[in-house]
Amino acid sequence: MPPRNVGWSSKGRWVHDAKLAFEWYFLRKVRTGISEPFYEKFVMKTLKITKIKA
């Protein structure tokens, strides 16, 4: 089995932009109090990913 403690990282402007976009998205979810927006539900349903408990 390969080692499990392998870290992946990258450099560049796109990494910074992606991190900012994710932070803005996550903080917006926290501020509004919506844990699972409709588009997340849609993507999960499309990919056939289900929750363990409803």
pLDDT digits 0-9 by tens, 1-54:
667 777 778 889 999 999 999 999 999 999 999 888 899 999 999 999 988 876
Phi (first) and psi of residue 50, to 5 degrees:
-115, 160
State in Å, rounded, how far the first CA of the chain is from the last one: 34
Res 1: pLDDT: 66
Res 16: pLDDT: 92
Query: pTM for the full model?
Result: 0.58
CB 40 within 8 A of CB 47: no
Q: 44: which residues sit within 8 A by CB, 6+ positions away?
A: 50
Could you give the CA distance from residue 43 to residue 1 in angstroms, rounded to a whole number?
32
The token duo for 34 is 């919506």
